[in-house]
């Protein structure tokens, strides 16, 4: 139930603590076995804390054995503690939490072992080449327990991984695709660059294949497998076709198999029927395939704010997606709109769409009415698409409305560009779940759901959080409420760039 990063060290010579004290405390938490490090703490404080914990139903071992699950130390200087642990613990002990005293005091206050959060962990610094310490995994296997900012120190590896992940996706190979996405996400979360293969030794989610790529990039500055892919006709064609709004890997595959290789191949083939979304995708391809800047996103926010408040003054608009995570560029701009009155959100999007049409800036609209039904929850097979009312739009954005002008091709004198915008409108009591789900990143969301399921026995999606043991839905009006229900340390949107 608790997240247990894998940390090595182990068995220790014993130093019994107050063996004379009679033990008649009732054990309440059988799965948790503490060991308090005497160093820095001192013998008498250790005795006091030991008895305090035992009186609250905790098991506290006098000796460091491989049954210990939580090592607590008052000395939170990672390097000296780890040096000491290494000395007195020659064997590896997987599945032990090495924690500072704050975890202990939190647990005593709550009267139960609180969930281990990253702030409690005494993490060993990432080893550098020639480091005397063995590299150690203190990085969580779950993206939702790693703070991932936009500062990526391992871009040369993650760029390579992303090409491989994409290529597996194009070939419908879900597992290796996900493996490379997970590995990408782990490397993005690291506080510094990986400089030797040894530094990855105990990182989670890195398999043989990913390590081979890392090794190549370290040695040669590039991966041959990736270079080959980048010049591969299938990869290039899929990349081109899927860059069109409305074209996914399945359509790209169909076209590729028919021998089509370029846009003109498609547009001149009269046996091909393009749906409305794809037609708009081709029509506005130049604009839409160009990244949207943060300044453009801000300007669109005023446009959407204006349209929403014009039709429903009490409605709220929130920026979500990549720009809410602080990205400088994105492929679209995502907003959540809702009304304080439950049920009023139903007419919101159709009215907003009408308003945008009236303003003459609606270039494309795909509106999907809500199919949300609380009675159909919990949904065991959630994958990204939710049932809220939403619309996928292409809007015309005027250069004059954007601070510093448009992010446009050089020589473009139109004075406007087309931009992809998504609006979603959940009922207000589902707002926090929708916001959490749409803020992303995709990998962060995947791991939140996986963490909820595997570690907490709960089902999370964009609609709700369901506790399988209690057989009940857990209410939340903010994202913080949801993190708290999951026993997770809160992460700000800008820390969710997994
Ligand atoms: P995006 O695809 O817009 O990604 O989905 P992004 O993170 O904003 O990055 P850009 O746009 O490429 O810069 C935003 C989030 O919304 C969720 C996705 O899972 C992602 O986390 N989403 C999207 C849903 O939950 N449901 C949907 O129907 C679509
Ligand atoms: Mn987006």
Count of the separate structural domains present in the chain: 5
Tens digit of each residue's pLDDT (9 = 90 or more) over 283-306: 999 999 999 999 999 999 999 999
For residue 92, what pLDDT is reported?
Answer: 53
Strand order in 416-425's β-sheet?
316-320, 333-338, 416-425, 389-398, 362-368
pTM listed for this prediction: 0.76
User: Is any ligand 1 atom within 6 A of the Cβ of residue 237?
Assistant: no
Q: How far apart are CA 130 and CA 107, in angstroms?
A: 38
Task: Examine residue 10 and state whether it is found in any structural domain, yes or no.
Answer: no
Q: Do 317 and 349 share a domain, yes or no?
A: yes
Distance of CA 228 to the CA centre of its chain: 29
For residue 10, what pLDDT is reported?
Answer: 40
For residue 6, what pLDDT is reported?
Answer: 46
Q: Do 101 and 150 share a domain, yes or no?
A: no
Domain boundary among 429, 458, 480: 429
Among protein residues, the one whose CA lies closest to atom 7 of ligand 1: 322
Q: Do 330 and 396 share a domain, yes or no?
A: yes
Q: Do 272 and 387 share a domain, yes or no?
A: no
Instruction: Determine the distance separating the centroid of ligand 1 and the alpha carbon of 385, expressed in angstroms.
Output: 10
Tens digit of each residue's pLDDT (9 = 90 or more) over 170-227: 999 999 999 999 999 999 999 999 999 999 998 999 999 999 999 999 999 999 999 9
Task: Examine residue 153 and state whether it is found in any structural domain, yes or no.
Answer: yes
Q: Do 76 and 111 share a domain, yes or no?
A: yes
Q: Do 425 and 348 share a domain, yes or no?
A: yes
Task: Examine residue 484 and state whether it is found in any structural domain, yes or no.
Answer: yes
Q: Contact 489/118 with Cβ under 8 angstroms?
A: yes
User: Is any ligand 1 atom within 6 A of the Cβ of residue 493?
Assistant: no
Q: Do 404 and 296 share a domain, yes or no?
A: yes
Q: Which domain range does residue 214 map to?
A: 144-229
For residue 81, what pLDDT is reported?
Answer: 82
CATH code where residue 39 lies: 3.40.50.10190
DSSP string, 134-197: PP---S-SSGGGS-B-S--TTHHHHHHHHHHHHHHHHTT-HHHHHHHHHHHHHHHH-SS---SG
Instruction: Please choose from 296, 318, 322 the residue to mutate so as to test ligand 1's pocket, defined by most ligand atoms within 8 A of CB.
Output: 322
For residue 65, what pLDDT is reported?
Answer: 82
CATH code where residue 420 lies: 3.30.460.10
Instruction: Determine the distance separating the centroid of ligand 2 and the alpha carbon of 149, expressed in angstroms.
Output: 17
Ligand closest to Cα of 150 equals: 1
Q: Do 218 and 237 share a domain, yes or no?
A: no
Q: Do 39 and 114 share a domain, yes or no?
A: yes
Instruction: Determine the distance separating the centroid of ligand 1 and the alpha carbon of 165, expressed in angstroms.
Output: 18
Torsion sign across C-alpha atoms 491, 80, 8, 197? positive
CATH code where residue 194 lies: 1.10.150.110
For residue 102, what pLDDT is reported?
Answer: 92
For residue 228, what pLDDT is reported?
Answer: 97
3-state secondary structure of 465: strand
Identify the segments of the chain with pLDDT beneath 50.
Answer: 4-12, 18-20, 90, 130-137
């Amino acid at each position: 139930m608790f997240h247990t990063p894998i940390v090595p060290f182990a068995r220790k010579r014993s130093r019994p603590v107050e063996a004379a004290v009679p033990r008649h405390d009732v054990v309440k938490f059988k799965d948790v076995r503490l060991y308090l490090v005497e160093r820095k703490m001192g013998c008498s404080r250790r005795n006091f804390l030991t008895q305090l914990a035992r009186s609250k139903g905790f098991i506290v071992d006098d000796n460091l054995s491989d049954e210990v699950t939580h090592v607590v130390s008052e000395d939170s200087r990672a390097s000296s503690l780890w040096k000491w642990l290494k000395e007195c613990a020659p064997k590896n002990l997987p599945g032990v939490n090495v924690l500072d005293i704050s975890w202990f005091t939190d647990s005593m206050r709550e009267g139960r072992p609180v969930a281990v959060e990253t702030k409690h962990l005494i993490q060993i610094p990432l080893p550098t080449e020639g480091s005397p310490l063995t590299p150690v995994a203190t990085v969580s296997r779950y993206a939702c327990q790693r703070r991932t900012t936009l500062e990526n120190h391992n871009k040369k590896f993650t760029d390579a991984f992303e090409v491989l992940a994409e290529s597996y996706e194009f070939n419908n190979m879900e597992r290796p695709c996900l493996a490379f996405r997970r590995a990408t996400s782990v490397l993005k979360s690291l506080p510094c660059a990986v400089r030797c293969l040894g530094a990855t030794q105990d990182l989670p989610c890195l398999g043989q294949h990913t390590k081979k790529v890392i090794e190549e990039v370290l040695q040669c500055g590039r991966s041959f497998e990736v270079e080959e892919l980048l010049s591969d006709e299938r990869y290039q064609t899929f990349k081109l076709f899927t860059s069109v709004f409305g074209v996914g890997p399945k359509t790209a595959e169909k076209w590729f198999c028919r021998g089509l290789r370029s846009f003109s191949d498609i547009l001149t083939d009269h046996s091909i029927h393009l749906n409305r979304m794809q037609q708009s995708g081709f029509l506005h391809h130049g604009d839409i395939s160009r990244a949207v800047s943060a300044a453009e996103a801000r300007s669109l926010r005023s446009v959407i704010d204006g349209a929403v408040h014009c039709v429903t003054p009490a409605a709220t608009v929130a920026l979500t997606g990549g720009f809410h995570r602080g990205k400088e560029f994105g492929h679209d701009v995502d907003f959540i709109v809702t009304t304080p009155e439950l049920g009023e959100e139903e007419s919101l999007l159709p009215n907003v769409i009408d308003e945008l049409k009236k303003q003459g800036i609606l270039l494309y609209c795909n509106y999907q009415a809500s199919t949300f039904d609380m009675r159909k929850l919990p949904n065991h097979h959630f994958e990204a698409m939710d049932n809220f009312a939403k619309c996928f739009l292409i809007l015309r954005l005027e250069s004059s409305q954007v601070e510093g002008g448009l992010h446009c091709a050089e020589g473009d004198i139109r004075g406007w560009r087309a931009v992809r915008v998504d609006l979603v409108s959940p009922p207000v009591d589902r707002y926090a779940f929708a916001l959490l789900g749409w803020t992303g990143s995709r990998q962060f969301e995947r791991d939140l759901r996986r963490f909820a399921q595997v570690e907490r026995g709960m089902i999370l999606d964009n609609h709700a959080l369901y506790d399988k043991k209690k057989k009940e839905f857990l209410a939340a009006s903010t994202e913080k409420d949801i993190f708290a229900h999951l026993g997770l340390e809160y992460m700000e949107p800008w820390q969710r760039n997994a």
